[in-house]
Amino acid sequence: MSAPEIVPLLIVGGGPAGYTAALYAGRAGLTPICIEGFDSGGQLSRSFLVENFPGVPDGTSGADLSNRIREQAIGFGARVVMDDVVGVDLSRRPFRVVTTSHSYLADAIVVATGSVPRPLGLPREEELIGRGIAYCALCDGAFFAGQEVIVVGGGNAALGESIQMARVASRVTLVHRRSEFRADDVVEVAARAIAGIEILTPHVVEELLADDDGNLCGVRLRNLSTGERCVRETAGLFVAIGHEPATGLFAPYLAISRGHIVTSLTSTETSLEGVFAAGDVADSRYRQAVTAAASGCQAAIDAERWLVTGDWVGASVEPAVPVAARRRGPSVSLLIPEQAAEHSPMTDPVHDPAHDRTSSHP
Ligand SMILES: Cc1cc2nc3c(=O)[nH]c(=O)nc-3n(C[C@H](O)[C@H](O)[C@H](O)COP(=O)(O)OP(=O)(O)OC[C@H]3O[C@@H](n4cnc5c(N)ncnc54)[C@H](O)[C@@H]3O)c2cc1C
């Protein structure tokens, strides 16, 4: 391997967060390098139609949207490299970053490696994404207006997705493998109070059924206590069994909370000076293309300021406590319950061993 390349700012991740950070840093004259990963475009590229990104009123494919941000970043001088980071040494500055073909020494790093929704792990699931299988009601719920949908999972996320879908779908069936939910009481009570939500426990989705056009048309369910099987017709299956943030390489160096990189409450600074985090890898709450892009912008600005002025506040794990405590109070918001509640410390999908990973999302 050749000698390391020296760069002021290295961005890891080629989703909306990483490309937007590259755009801003490029425009600021930092000539950043963005290692986009072999899965360039990020999660968004798995979406056939994105209708909720501002400035794109007619919608476009996720791949097209990602590519447009990428091209804009390159237009401002960012170098985008299709490669995977396979090793980092953040124990000293400049930080050392190793990819499959190259190595870099960077004064500052933006981590924008995203997260991946957990899948059910059933045959045909991958090919049915965007054809009936969805992982985010906020993203894809509107495509199922007036139709019957199934939501799978047993935590706050699944119940929240059910409540959200009940506002647009004609009927929601919530399928969970256990008889009890692992959700906050307030969320469970809200879900159970909605007539349009039918709760099926203890059931699992055993098989995904597709029509001749390759769209999801139903699922085969199994009752775990009786063993009985039945087929449910449905146009949409929302898988809500958690997310896996891609923190593995950075976890030994950065504070991680509930699987996500901890950032300052007021900036994208992490617990380690010179390292910034943006997008879903640091966001357990919103997980949208626009919020990822927005935090990519913030990370580039934060990194530029730190490189120029050395100004640093840094992230602390502590602020999470009062925030979580406030959420446990009576003012828990049901406006976006799946998000407000999912991140309650009581329902940490990463650290709670009782988390239901097998009930039916990566
Ligand atoms: C099927 C689906 C549909 C969606 N639809 C919508 C929608 O309609 N609207 C909406 O707003 N949001 C939608 N979302 C959510 C949205 O896609 C995410 O919130 C957004 O993509 C997060 O952006 P990100 O840049 O933080 O991470 P990601 O998009 O996850 O990108 C992470 C990037 O990091 C790279 N990476 C990871 N590890 C490494 C490594 N070791 N080395 C180099 N690179 C690495 C990956 O290759 C990837 O390019 C959808 C998500 C899914 C899964």
CATH, residue 176: 3.50.50.60
User: Based on the domain organization, do 235 and 265 belong to the same domain?
Assistant: no
Q: How far is the CA of 15 from the centre of ligand 1 (A)?
A: 5
Residue 318 domain-assigned (yes or no): no
Q: Please tell me the predicted confidence (pLDDT) of residue 322.
A: 38
User: Based on the domain organization, do 250 and 228 belong to the same domain?
Assistant: no
Q: How far is the CA of 192 from the centre of ligand 1 (A)?
A: 32
User: Based on the domain organization, do 201 and 132 belong to the same domain?
Assistant: yes
Q: Whose CA is nearest to atom 20 of ligand 1?
A: 289
User: Based on the domain organization, do 25 and 132 belong to the same domain?
Assistant: no
Owning domain of residue 57: 5-117+243-309
- 250-279 per-residue burial string, b: 16 or more CB within 10 A, e: under 16: beebbbbbbbbbbbbeebbbbbbebbbbbb
pLDDT 10s digits, 52-71: 999 999 999 999 999 999 99
- The residues annotated with a catalytic role in the active site are 136, 139-140
Q: How far is the CA of 186 from the centre of ligand 1 (A)?
A: 30
Whether residue 323 is predicted with pLDDT greater than 90 in this model: the reply is no
pLDDT 10s digits, 160-206: 899 999 999 999 999 999 999 998 898 899 999 999 999 999 999 99
Whether residue 137 is predicted with pLDDT greater than 80 in this model: the reply is yes
User: Based on the domain organization, do 337 and 232 belong to the same domain?
Assistant: yes
Q: Please tell me the predicted confidence (pLDDT) of residue 324.
A: 38
Beta carbon of 50 within 6 Å of any ligand 1 atom: yes
Question: What's phi and psi for 171, nearest 5 deg?
Answer: -160, 145
Q: How far is the CA of 185 from the centre of ligand 1 (A)?
A: 31
Long-range CB contacts for residues 57-65, cutoff 8 Å, separation at least 24: 62/289, 65/16, 65/289
Residue 55 domain-assigned (yes or no): yes
User: Based on the domain organization, do 234 and 247 belong to the same domain?
Assistant: no
How far apart are the C-alpha atoms of 329 and 331, rounded to whole Å? 5
User: Based on the domain organization, do 137 and 95 belong to the same domain?
Assistant: no
Q: Please tell me the predicted confidence (pLDDT) of residue 39.
A: 84
Whether residue 251 is predicted with pLDDT greater than 90 in this model: the reply is yes
Total of domains in the chain: 2
User: Based on the domain organization, do 141 and 22 belong to the same domain?
Assistant: no
Beta carbon of 245 within 6 Å of any ligand 1 atom: no
Beta carbon of 283 within 6 Å of any ligand 1 atom: no
Beta carbon of 102 within 6 Å of any ligand 1 atom: no
Residue 326 domain-assigned (yes or no): no
Residue 155 domain-assigned (yes or no): yes
Q: How far is the CA of 85 from the centre of ligand 1 (A)?
A: 16
Q: Whose CA is nearest to atom 48 of ligand 1?
A: 42
Beta carbon of 160 within 6 Å of any ligand 1 atom: no
Please state, in angstroms and as integers, the Cα–Cα distance from residue 20 to each residue in 10, 301, 315, following that order: 13, 11, 22
Beta carbon of 12 within 6 Å of any ligand 1 atom: yes
Residue 202 domain-assigned (yes or no): yes
Q: Please tell me the predicted confidence (pLDDT) of residue 362.
A: 24
User: Based on the domain organization, do 280 and 293 belong to the same domain?
Assistant: yes
Kindly give the number of the ligand 1 atom that is closest to the alpha carbon of 49. 8
| Among 261, 294, 309, residue at a domain's last position | 309
User: Based on the domain organization, do 14 and 136 belong to the same domain?
Assistant: no
Beta carbon of 135 within 6 Å of any ligand 1 atom: yes
pLDDT 10s digits, 193-250: 999 999 999 999 999 999 999 999 999 999 999 999 999 999 999 999 988 999 999 9
Residue 359 domain-assigned (yes or no): no
Q: Average pLDDT over the chain, rounded to whole?
A: 87
User: Based on the domain organization, do 210 and 291 belong to the same domain?
Assistant: no
pLDDT 10s digits, 93-102: 999 999 999 9
With cut-offs at 50, 70 and 90, classify the pLDDT of residue 45: confident
Residue 328 domain-assigned (yes or no): no
User: Based on the domain organization, do 65 and 146 belong to the same domain?
Assistant: no
Residue 197 domain-assigned (yes or no): yes
